[in-house]
Structures are given as C-alpha cells and as structure tokens.
Structure 1
Amino acid sequence: MRKLVGRTLIGMAATVLAAALLAPAAVASPIGDAEAAMMAAWEKAGGDSSPLGARKGDVYPAGDGFALDFDGGKMFYTTDTGAKFLYGPILDKYDTLGGPPASDLGFPTINEVPGLAGPDSRVATFSASDKPVIFWTPDHGAFVVRGALNAAWDKLGSSGGVLGAPIGDETYDGEVTAQKFSGGEISWNRKTKEFTTNPAALADQLKGLQVAIDPTAAINMAWRAAGGAAGPLGAKQGGSYPIGGDGIAQNFASGKVFFSPATGANALESDILAKYESLGGPVGSDLGFPTANESDGGIAPSSRIATFSAADKPVIFWTSNHGAFVVRGSMKAAWDKLRGPTGKLGAPVDDQAVNGDVVSQQFTGGKVAWNRAKNSFTTDPSNLAPLLSGLQVSGQNQPSTAAMPSHAKKFALHWWWLLVAAAALALVALSALVAWGWRRRRRSRGDTAAYEPPVEGGWGHDDVDAATEHFALDDLYPADQQPPPDAGPAARVSWGRAAGAAADLDEDVQHGGEAPPESEEGPGHFEGPGADDEDPDAVDTDSIPAVSAAALSEAGYVDVPDEDVYPEADYAESDYTDTDYTDTDYAQAPDAAVSEAVAAGAEPRTGRHAAVDADDASEPASGPAGRPTIHLPLDDPYQVPDGYPIKASARFGLYYTPGSELYHDTLAEIWLSSEEVAQANGFLKAD
C-alpha cells in the first residue's frame, strides 16, 4: 500500500513539474509574440491617445505575418520588420492595393511619418525588394513610388528636391515605365536601362545610375504592367517556382509570368498561354521565353500577340475568329515585310506547313511560300512577291529572291549585266597591256651594254672550250662548209653589239650553225661576249655562212669612228669596279637594225655610258574621270552611299526612292545617283 501511494505522489509531482516547464513554450507561440510586440509598439506610440486609438479585436494572420486593428489604424508584424503601424490615407492606399496578402509591397518597415515635402505630407516605406514607398500630400493624395523610378527620385532629392511629390501612380507603355511628379516626370526603359526626364536636363544627373531588379521584383512589375490584381492576370496564386535552366515562373488566376535573365519577366494570358504550353512552354518547345508582355494585336474585334526569344523571332498571334497560331522564321520575315497583321496578309489562320524544301503558311489575306533550297518566295496573290525581293531570312547568307510573273522590262536586267561584263573585260585587257609593257621594259633594262673588243683581239682558248667543249669542230660543221686545208686565215669580222650579234653567233654554234673562220691565233680562237649575254628574242636558228670582208663591204657596212658617240653619264664618284671592255670599231647596222634602234629610242637607256632617263618609268597621269552613276552596296547593305540615294533591284527591274514606303525595308542590290539614271537604265519605279 505504501508503495502504491508513493508511486502516485511521484507521478503527480512529475506532472506538475512538466506543466510548469512547458507553460513558457506554450505562451511563446508566433501569434503570442506578434501580439506582445504590437502592444508594446502601441504603448510606445501613446496607447489610446496615439493616432491609432483604442484596440479592436484580436491579432490575426495577414500574409506572411500578423495584423491588429485599432480605431484609427492598423499594426502589422513580421519577425523581419517588427511591429509597424499605418493610418489614414496611406493605410487606405495600402489596403486598396491588397495589403500584405494581395499586394506586392510587402510589410511596412517604418511607422508612418511626415515626409520631406512639409509637415502635412506623410510617407511609409515597405519591405519589397524594389524598395517601394507610399507618399501622401493633401494636395495630390497617396501614390506608390518604387523600383527604378524611386531610385531616380531619391537621386534628385526625393519629395524635397526639384521633382517634388508624386501626383500619380506609375504607368506602362511597352518597355517604358513612367511617373509624374509635381515638378516633372521620370521615365525608365527596362530593356536599355536608360532614364529620360522632363525637364530633360535632369536626365544628365541620372547617367550611370544602376538599378538592381531581382526576379521577384521583375515578375511583380510585369504583373502590375498587365493590370495587377484587377487586370487580365488576376490575383497571384502561390509562390514563384523554377522552370527551364535558369527561368522562374509565377502563376496567377488567369495567366503566368515567365522570367529569365536574358528576357526579363513577361506575362502571358489565357489563349496565348494555352497555345504556348500546348507546344511545351519554355522547356518543351523551341520558342524560348516570352520577350514582352502579351499585347493587343491591332485587329478588331479582338486580337493578341506575344513575342518569344528563339533565334527566328517567333510570335503567337491570336484572334477571336481564328484562334492562336505561331508565325516564325521565313514566314515571320515575309509577314513583317508586308506589315504584319495590319498589312496585306492579315492574321494567320493556321500554323506553317513544311513540304520538302518549301515552307508555307496561310493568312487571311493570302498565302506565302518559301523555298529553302532556292531561298526564294512565292505568294498568292502573286503581286506580293516583288515586295519580298532582297528580304533577309534568318540563317541564310544571301538575300532572298522572289518568283514572279515576267516583267515588261525584263531586258533591262540583261543590259545591266552586259555593262558590268564589258567593264570587267576592259579592265582585264588594260591589265594585260600594262603587264606586257612592264615586262618589255624590264627586259630592255636588263640587257648589258658594253663595247666589243678590238678586231685585232681574239677569243681565248678557254672561251672556245666553253662554247664547244662537248663537240669537235668536225661534228659542228658539215664537210662542205669547212675551209680547205690550204686556205689562209679568213678575214676577221667586227660584229655590232647593239643587237647582241655576238650572242647570236655563239647560239648558232651551239645549234649547229656555221662556225666562224679561224683567227690568226689558231682554230677556235674568238672574242666576244659570253653566252650569258644572250637575248632569247634575237636568236636566229638558221644556219648562216661565214661572212667575208667582201660580203660586208657589199652590204654597205662602214667603219665607225673610234670615238664613242654616246654622251657620258653624269654619275657621282663612287667605289665602282668597272668591267674591262675595250673600245672597238662600231659596225654600221643594216637598215632593219637602224629602224629597230629608232623604235627603241622611247625605251629607257641602260649601261655605264648611257644616261639613264630617270622619268621614263613614270606613267603619265590620267585625266579626271567622270563620276560613276552606279554604286555597289557597302559592307552594311542598308547604308546609303554618299550621292547615291536611289535603291535598285536588278532582279526585278525596280527602283525605290527615299520617299517610298518600302525604301527602308528593301535591300539594295545596286545604288543609283538619281531617278533619271534609274530610268535610263531601264528600271521601273516601285509602287
């Protein structure tokens, strides 16, 4: 019995001890901590006499934190921000935007306080990553300033600076966010990260201002640009989640916002979102991420368009009459050239089809087909094809062509090509002529000039050996052309050197021609230039008989004076080793040789005793040429060459003036100086 009573007492004591130890933990619940913190802040602000007034009700959850109502305002609490209160117009603005659960402002980070615009202004800051504030003045009301606009506003002095207080919420126009203030306006482009201002001079103070926008802030901005909770996307559902390699997505009641570092955050709504996700979305399709918020398509009664990041620039276009279809690649290029959905083709009525090398797509206004192998377009109706001439298709190195009916001015194309061909042939002919003249001049300059040895001299035995070392004289000459044994020495002949006769003689010996008669000094003893002085163009391969003195006199050769008739060249003194040439009688050349020498008078003179014509090598300058009327495209085919404003398509015989609607979208094949030149060359003006 004692044991039983003892065990009972011990159990009761343990229960009491456990309850005592666990009681503090029960009291330290999140809602209890929130209540304690908010009541402490209320007491500090003045309790019942504070702007909040008396307490109303209990603490309740609000988003990721808690809230407590008072007669004149509210207290909000999170572990990160602590207990902060709002009241009056700023609290009304906060609640209108959805408060902690539905807005993207976060929780207040300070108690509402007077602003810099004066004691009557009020301001409160919030915990969202783009640092939003709600600023109120009695003259204008309460408005949110956040993100890049808030950074610029702060840089310019906030409400106490030149811009003053906000007089409206931010507005969106494509990539540009803008907000008006009492002293001006700020705009910011989310793609270029550049600011513009009114007054414009304020923008200089914002150059280099860096604005960090994280994925959450970017998603919230895209949602607000689409209309926020009251817009087509509706209220936010859950938190963001990763998608694809580096993407993030956020669900809303009637759409989604997709984010990637390369594209930023962009919203898609119901019908286009359904088409996108049916193709696989950013993960399963090859469209990539959206690059802009879905927007109006420009066609009544209802149309929408969204652009995507793939290299061929795809879009999804939706109309209430036909539905949503993808337009991309060559079809997108042709569609854009024809002014998209509001142009001649209209809206797509189906996705593109592929048949071999041909890609085609049907639109409300016709059909476009593109042959990948030929890089050419055809259209239905066919009159659209010329408008696609020169169109660049992504992935193709050359501008596209366009198949079209025969043109009345088809011959103009052939004539233009004939002009180019004629110019090319003339250039080739001129180049050949210049090259021939250059080679002739080099050859004439290369000839070595010197005087013959005197007639009394003779070639040494070494020289004859060099010329006939492989042949006996009996082998070189037939028996009927050899002198009789008792014949005396033949008369010696002095050969003129101007035409290289000595070289000819040596050449004749090597090719089986008649050998010269023996000199006094023995058979085969000759004097004259060596084989190195041979001029291949002057070689005569016919056999010639030995020339006697009588034959020379009959031919009219006369002796020339020993005095050289060439003027002495004016050379500066220098260390120069002269070749041992001895003067000799100069034989008068025959008429043919004289004529040749006269004709060669225009060529430069060479040799030690010849005055060099220093200016001979210079070509006469050509006169000024007329300015061409045709210009080929520059490295940038869309850049207009100076003085050639007219674009022309030789393929279709059309030309485009700067005032033409298609001028800036047409790739010029050639540029012309005026319309008159275009018409003179057979081109027709494009409609």
Structure 2
Amino acid sequence: MSGRRTLLRTALARATVGLAVVAASLFVAPPASADPASEANDAITAAYDGSGGPGGPLGVREGGVYPVGAGFGQNFAAGKMFFTPATGAHWMQGAVLEKYESLGGPADSDLGFPTIDEGPGRVGPDSRNTTFSAPDKPVIFWTPATGARVVRGALNAAWDRLGGSAGVLGVPAEDEVYRGDVVSQKFTGGELTWNRKDKTFTTVPPGLVDQLRDLSVPEDAESAIAAARRAAGGPLGPLGAKDGPQYAIGDDGAGQNFAGGKIFYTPQTGANVVTGQVLEKYESVGGPEGDLGFPTSSEADGGLGSNSRIGTFAAEDRPVIFWTPDYGAVIVRGAMNAGWAKLGGAKGPLGAPVADQTENGDVVTQRFSEGVLSYNRSTGRFSTEPAELAAQLAGLEVPGEEVPKAPATPSSSAAEDDGEWLSWRWNWWWLLALIPVLIIVGLVTGAVLWSRRRDRRDERFRDDEDIFDRAMYEPAARPESGEGDDERRRFAETYGFHESPPESAAAPAPADPFAPQDDPDSVDTAPTRIEEPRPQSALEEPSLPVSGPDEPSPARPEELFRQPEPEPAEREPGPAQPEAEAFVGAPFVVAPFVEDAPSGRHAAIDIDEPTPGRTAIHLPLDDSGAAPAGYPVKADTRTGLYWTPGSRGYDDVAAEIYFASEEFARTNGFVRGD
C-alpha cells in the first residue's frame, strides 16, 4: 500500500513540472528584433524633446516617422527632422530647409543628411547654417541679405582656410558656377575659383591665393561624380534622376548611371558626362574599357551650336567622338584628329566628319563634309582635298605613332598617296640587316691591309738581303773598288753595324778584310762564299738562347758581340788592327779592337790581352774541331751555348765561332753549355 502511494506522488510531481513549463512558454514572449523605424522614431523623439518639444522652435508634430532616402524623417509645424544611424537626428527650418529640399533633399540631392541642427553662423544671430554628410562636406549658409547658399568641396575648404563667414571673404553671396573644368563662387568680400584639372586656386583679391598654395583638396569618386552632375544641370539637367547605385570600373574607375546618360570617373581623368548618341557610339566600341579609354571631358558643344556635340577620350592617339544630326556620332582619332583640329575642326574648311576613318596599307583616310584628309604612316605626309590645305599640315606631330616621322613636303592630293604603300620603306629591320654586311666588309678590309703590310715588309727584307750579299760577297762592292759604299753604309746603319775607323796619322787604314792577313793566327779570308742557314723572315722573331735562372739573359741579335764598357785607364797607343771577320749566321760584323780610335754606332770591344789589337771572336778554321790560337772558347749560335777547354762535350762540339774568353762569350749572350 505504501509503495503505491509513493509511485502516485512521483507521477503527480512530474505532471506538475510539465504543466509549469508549458505555462511559462505560453506567457513569456521571445525577444523582439530591432526595427529601423522604431529606432528612428526613438531618436527623433529624443531630439525633439531636447529642442523644447511643442514649445520649441519646431512646434507640434505633424504625422509620424516616414522613410526618406537612406533614412527617416518627421514633419513638424515649423520645420523637419531627419535621421540615419550614422548622422543621428537633426532638424532644420525656414530658408535653409527650403534650399535643401529645392536641391532634392535627403532623397535626391547630393548633400546627404544633416550632421548638425540648424543654428546661427559665426557672424551672429542674423545668419543660419547647417552642415551635411556628403564626402565634400557641404554647408548651407543663410543671411537675410544673401539668402541660403551652398558652399562645398574645394571652395568650402578654401573658405574655411581664409576664416569662413567671419574671415576676409565674408559670407557666400551666390551659388557655385561651373564653366567647363572651372568652378567659382562669389562671396560678399571676394571670389574663389578652382580648376579641377590643374588643381589650382585663384582668388579675388589676388593676394589671398598665397594662403591656399599648400591646401590639400581630397577628391573621391562620389564627390567628383556629384560635381559633374551639378555642372551638367543637376536633377533638372539632361542627366535627370539617378538610375541605381555607383559601380566600380577597373582598378580605380567608377561609373554612375542616370536616366539621360552616364558619368565615368578615374583619379587621372576626373568625372565626365556622356549622353545620347555620343554615349551609344562610345559603348559600341567598348566604353571605358575599350580602346578609347575613359572620357577626359564632359560632352560639350562641338562648335556648331546645338547641332553638334563632342566628347574627348584618354587613349594615346587622343580620340574624339563628334556628333551631328546629319551624320550621327563619328570617331576621329590619331593623325586624322591632329590634322582636322589643326585646320579648325568642324568650323574649319573640312567641316564635320562624315564617317569613321579607313585604312589602305599605310594610308589612313577620313571623309569630312567639305573634304578628305589622308595620312601616310610610312612617309609621315598628309594629303588633302582641297589640295592646298596640305601645306598647313607639314611637320605636324601625330599622336599615337610608334616611330616619329620626319617632316616631309605634303603631296597635292589624296589620290597621289593611294599607291605609296608599295614604296620602299627604310626602317629598323633594314638597319639590322646591314650589321653583318658591315662586319664582313670590315674583316675583308683588315685582311687586305694586313696582307699589303706583310708584302711590304717581306719586300724590304729581300732588298736588305740583296744589299748584304752585295756588300759581303760581290767584288764590285769591295772596299778597294770604292763601289757599293752607299749600300753597305745604309745596310750598316739600318741594322746597327760598325763602320771601319777613319784613317788618321796615328792609326793607318785597316787592311782589306777579304785579303790575306799578316797575322799568322788568322785564317785566309778570301772572298769565298760560305753556306749559311736560311735567314729568318722579316716577320719572324729571331730564335734566342734561353738562359738559366742564374745566368745572364741572352742578348737580342743587335746586341750580340757588343763589348762591355771598358774601365777608364790610360793605354798606350798601338797599331790599328784589321777589320773583324764577317760572322756567318748573324746579320752583323764584329769591330776590331783599335785603341783610342772612333767607331761607328757601337764602341769597339776592349779586352785585357798581353798583345793588344786582337779581336774577341774568331771564325772556325778549316778543321772545325781545332780552335784558333788565342780563341779557346767554342760557341754555337743555334743553341746560344759555349764550352771551355776541359768541359764536358767540348771535344764533341763543332763550333761556329770561337771566343777569346768566357767573359766575352757571356757578354755576348751565350750560356755555358756543360
């Protein structure tokens, strides 16, 4: 029984808890989500109460909160209040409110929402002003004398720098005025002007501009597009109302559509308006992302009044789109635009463009209402119809051309240039083709010059060989005949040989070296020609002996047999000695030892011998293995080595010359061979 009661109590407790949960879910409502209208109502109510409520400047409420533009508004008997979460709730009334709504108010103007309540300006209670949320920081400023005026952007920044309404310029007397890229505004104390293309101010009085030179005027796409729209007439102009939000184009471009056209913007080109058939033509070739680029100016009168419109674009060849009701929108660019503009454009003798340009090879042609313009890219020449117009285009710079063309005489008519695309054109490819030709010509010329030089040197060497042969071996050139002296002297001077000492009373003339000598130690030097190795070519270097690290360096041929400088000493005069014997195998002869006798180009070799007057070298005897008396040192001119008696190999060497001592062998560049 007790167990049943326990189970019953447990069941009743669980049922009670379930009923309590159900009841709680029925009576507890979920948290309400945020309501923008309620938020706006609360903010406007708080601001209204803060201004004095029904007894304040706004008076009693007239209806509830309503959406407008990107926020909300509420009407009062003496004004209105507007709200966005970013700006808060602020009110305005009277002339300031009327000006704001005349420009489109929070829904259609480019001022944005108010950021402060309307209040007195810096010049006193007789002025009123309100600021707005647009990026260019506009303000509406009112005085009884000037009315309500908007000051914004660069002009507002400059006005603030100069002291605002309490400064030298005073209060705004008129709204801004646009003249192309220049906007200006008059104040009670002067005037401000801003050029949006070159980013410069001008002022009245002029001295005020010095205070604005370092003023930075930031620009953004929204403000620039709004300014371009105002310059085109605002909501009441040809653009009309906005058509959707602003959108990005490329990396830094932007666009804004309107009911009657579009505005395109980049930091480089600014914001510019394109409408009607000019816009249609522009977008048919790709618009701002086509090869024309972004517009660089807003569409304007083409010079023919209301019957023409023109827009300019940013491509390198400076294109324009020109519209007339007769021919529609036509693109004029590059050479055609340069020549057409030089001749006065649509108001000039060519008139308005009729159709886009055509190309035939290098010749570009475009027809205009009053004539034809052609340009040949290969010659850089214009031709025109009428023909006399071409003279005005001589030397004209053509934008967009890769290779500048030299000025040329203009042709008389467009027909003369029709076949010029077949003419010979000199360009960089031909210059590149000439490079290998010039290299070949240079190589051939160098080879010819080298060959001629070698022939001249060989011919000179052969001439010198003939002179040597005649001087040494031909009887007509012997000294006793007196013939051949000039040739022998020239040869000796050319190669640095010694001349025979001059005759004197102290030293009688030497005997003929080709005649038998009285000296019993000398050999019979009859004029018998000795076979010798072939002379080296004039272009070859003579082979010189190579010395060891501790031995004297071998002498060059002209240095062989040159004697050392003698020590100064008094010597007794002795008889003159005969001239040296001719040395076979080297192009020179050895001077005899003559005491105190003048010599030729080289001084005579001097040795300390008991018997004066002996030479330093001696040619081999008939028996080449036997040394002449007084000449024990053997030498070989081919190897540059010498051997002394008793040294290894001495007996086996066939000497070509003999020296009187080792000293003379070493002095003349020979190296010990053992």
TM-score, scaled relative to structure 1: 0.61
Q: What is the CA distance between 1:301 and its match in structure 2?
A: 4.3
d(CA) in 1 for partners of 2:175, 2:372:
45
- Is it true that 1:103 corresponds to 2:109 in the alignment? yes
Q: Distance in 1 between matches of 2:173 and 2:337?
A: 42
> What corresponds to 1:341 in structure 2?
346
Opposite residue 218 of structure 2, the aligned amino acid is A
Q: How does 1:79-94 map to 2 (within 5 A)?
A: 79-94=85-100
Asked if the contact 2:374–2:383 (Cα under 8 Å) also holds between the matched residues in 1, the reply is yes
1:386-444 CA-to-partner distances (Å, cap 9, x unmatched) read 111111112242344353349xxxxxxxxxxxxxxxxxxxxxxxxxxxxxxxxxxxxxx
1:359: how far off?
A: 0.7
Query: What's the CA shift for 1:356?
Result: 1.3
Alignment of 1:240-639 (within 5 A): 240-283=246-289, 285-394=290-399, 395=401, 396-405=403-412, 474-476=469-471, 479=474, 481-483=476-478, 506=490, 520-521=509-510
Q: Is the 8 A contact 1:233 1:255 kept in 2?
A: yes
What RMSD in Å do the two structures reach over aligned CA positions? 3.4
Counterpart position of 2:155: 149
Cα distance in 1 for residues equivalent to 2:317 and 2:160: 41
Alignment partner of 1:232 out of 229, 235, 238: 238
- Matching residue of 2:641: none
Structure 2 vs 1, CA of residues 36 and 510 (structure 1 numbering), >3 Å: closer, same or farther?
A: closer
Give the whole-Å Cα distance in 2 for the aligned partners of 1:314 and 1:136: 45
Q: Relative to structure 1, is the Cα distance of residues 87 and 507 closer, same or farther in structure 2, using a 3 angstrom cutoff?
A: farther
Distance in 2 of aligned mates of 1:251 and 1:474: 108
Structure 2 contact 379–405 (Cα < 8 Å) conserved: no
**1:15 matched to which residue of 2?**
26
Partner of 1:457: none
**SS of equivalent residue, structure 2 residue 198:** coil
Once residues 197 and 126 of structure 1 are traced to their aligned partners in structure 2, the CA distance between those partners, rounded to angstroms, is 25
- 1:50-65 maps to which residues of 2 (within 5 A)? 50-65=56-71
Question: Structure 2 CA distance, aligned partners of 1:516 and 1:5?
Answer: 157
Q: Is the 8 A contact 2:321 2:330 kept in 1?
A: yes
Q: Please give the alpha-carbon distance, in whole angstroms, between the structure 2 residues aligned to 1:503 and 1:11.
A: 147
1:136 to 142, 145, 154: 142
Instruction: Decide which of 104, 114, 122 is 1:116's aligned counterpart.
Output: 122
Contact 2:468–2:491 (8 Å) recurs in 1:
no
Corresponding residue for residue 220 of structure 2: 214
Structure 1 residues 480 and 237, CA gap change in structure 2 (3 angstroms): same
CA–CA distance in structure 1, aligned partners of residues 247 and 282 of structure 2: 18
Which residue of the partner structure matches residue 578 of structure 2?
Answer: none
SS at match of 1:401: coil
Gapped regions of structure 2 (runs ≥ 5): 1-10, 414-460, 504-508, 515-597, 601-674
Q: 8 Å contact 2:118–2:130 — kept in the other structure?
A: yes
Count of residues in Structure 1 that have an aligned counterpart in Structure 2: 449
Q: Deviations over 1:342-385 (max 9, x none)?
A: 11111111011111111111111211011111211111111111
Structure 1 unaligned blocks of 5 or more: 407-465, 494-501, 526-581, 585-687
Aligned equivalents of 1:504 and 1:163: distance in 2? Answer: 110
Q: Deviations over 1:614-660 (max 9, x none)?
A: xxxxxxxxxxxxxxxxxxxxxxxxxxxxxxxxxxxxxxxxxxxxxxx
Deviation digits for residues 516-547 of structure 1, max 9, x if unmatched? 9996346699xxxxxxxxxxxxxxxxxxxxxx
Looking at structure 2, the residues matched to 203 and 322 of structure 1 have their Cα atoms a distance apart, in angstroms, of: 47
The question of whether the paired residues in 2 share the 8 Å contact of 1:37 and 1:82 is answered with: yes
Which structure has the bigger radius of gyration?
Answer: 2
Provide, for residues 137-182 of structure 1, a one-character-per-residue CA deviation record: whole Å limited to 9, x for no partner.
1001001000000000000010111101111111111211111101
2 CA distance for matches of 1:308 and 1:209? 29
Aligned mates of 1:198, 1:522 — CA distance in 2: 118
Identity %: 49
Deviations 1:526-578 (A, max 9, x none): xxxxxxxxxxxxxxxxxxxxxxxxxxxxxxxxxxxxxxxxxxxxxxxxxxxxx
Instruction: Tell which has more relative contact order, 1 or 2 (C-alpha 8 A, sep 6+).
Output: 1
Deviating 4+ runs (over 2 angstroms): 1-13, 398-406, 466-485, 490-493, 502-505, 507-511, 515-525
Q: Is the 8 A contact 1:244 1:282 kept in 2?
A: no
SS at match of 1:195: strand
